Structure 1
């Protein structure tokens, strides 16, 4: 994985323009590994890795059994990827990693609450679209597509294939649309994404880590605010609006005091 230190906003904008078509993920701690919420949870609390598969299966089964009570159309639970996306959306640990097609959305998620160096990971999706693991060149993206019935159980729940799939559910929710979102589904949950990518030999760099210096945060957050990238736009609901107030506390325009200058 190539690592690049970014010291100011203009430098980030320039680097982003060179990564056309890539997917991005922001993380507020530069040292955090590129792991899913499920991987982090299992690593922290379930030392017996032999039970990880059965525990993940059980979690999905319980969610499906109960979530229909809260859904206007419970058929969303029938498709594996849509079900996982719904779980992820509402805070359940899953093997999905949220990415975005916008480097600026990723920068927002990386920097919003960062009090030290943050990171934006860039994934070379144009190359990954056609790449296959060196150990199993028959496993193309289309072959392992988790939107196809049976594929999630066959290639992902088994937790024994160093591969990944990137894409979106056939029907995307409002948040995924607002965030220009896409998802990475890893075939194993005990390895970070960059280690899984070591199995792919595409002849070029598949992942870059842009380390965002904490000193650029103020400049970047003001630029993102002007681009209308806030929690209120990325999470188009009352929760997003409430979360956006954090940045409103920081952004103060220089103007004469008065009721109209709030």
Structure 2
């Protein structure tokens, strides 16, 4: 995995312009590994990795048994990927990793509450999509073959935690948040390894993962640019909750030329 340490925000815009079609994920701490909320949770609360599969299955089973009480269309729970996306949307730990097709949305999530150096990871989704990158151990497991949107594929290729593969994409039906964030999901076939280690076992002549470190000196200029691009919590999280969360930026950024009573 190649790593670039930025000098300034302009370098980020130049670099990401060369990564056409890639997917991006922002993380508030550059030391964090690229792994799912489920992996982080299980590592903290379930030392015995032999229990991880059973715990994940139980969490999904409990959610399915109870979530129908709050859904207008409970049938969404029948599809594995849609069910996990719904869990992720509402804060449950899942094996899904949130990515976005916009490097600027990823930068916002990396910088919004960062207190030190942050990072944006770029994933070469075109190479994965066109099978220019395949797992060395299971080269037949292409993106189309393991597609988790197909009924039964989650059990066969993912929940079993035997295949060191990844899939990326969206559910057939996308919710408003996924649309607003230009979002996509990365689904790992195993939950006991970070994404970078899984990709290390892929055969490809191309770079598959690039880590961009945003030093603590970058956020001021970056957040102003993102604000001007209308990338805020209000736009990324449709509804009153997103608007309320976006007010924090208004407290942080000092706009030149502002006068009392003038709205930026």
Same fold (TM over 0.5): yes
Q: Aligned-pair RMSD on alpha carbons?
A: 1.0
In structure 1, C-alpha distance between the alignment counterparts of 2:210 and 2:256, rounded to whole Å: 38
> Which residue number corresponds to residue 140 of structure 1?
142
> Which residue number corresponds to residue 37 of structure 1?
37
Distance verdict in 2 for CA 1:105–1:256, change over 3 Å: closer
> Which residue number corresponds to residue 215 of structure 1?
217
Write the deviation string for residues 43-80 of structure 1: whole angstroms up to 9, x where unpaired: 11100111110110010000000000000001110100
> Which residue number corresponds to residue 72 of structure 2?
72
Any stretches of 5+ residues in structure 2 without a counterpart? none
> Which residue number corresponds to residue 203 of structure 2?
201
1:171-186 counterparts in 2 under 5 A? 171-186=173-188
TM-score by length of 2: 0.97
Any stretches of 5+ residues in structure 1 without a counterpart? none
Deviation at 1:261, TM superposition (A): 4.3
> Which residue number corresponds to residue 10 of structure 2?
10
TM-score by length of 1: 0.98
Check whether the contact 1:255–1:261 (CA below 8 A) recurs between aligned residues: no
Write the deviation string for residues 85-135 of structure 1: whole angstroms up to 9, x where unpaired: 000000000000000000000000000101100000000001011132111
SS at match of 2:120: strand
> Which residue number corresponds to residue 96 of structure 2?
96
Moved over 2 A (4+): 251-262
> Which residue number corresponds to residue 248 of structure 2?
246
**Residue correspondences, number:** 262
SS at match of 2:211: strand
In structure 2, C-alpha distance between the alignment counterparts of 1:110 and 1:118, rounded to whole Å: 6
In structure 1, C-alpha distance between the alignment counterparts of 2:80 and 2:186, rounded to whole Å: 14
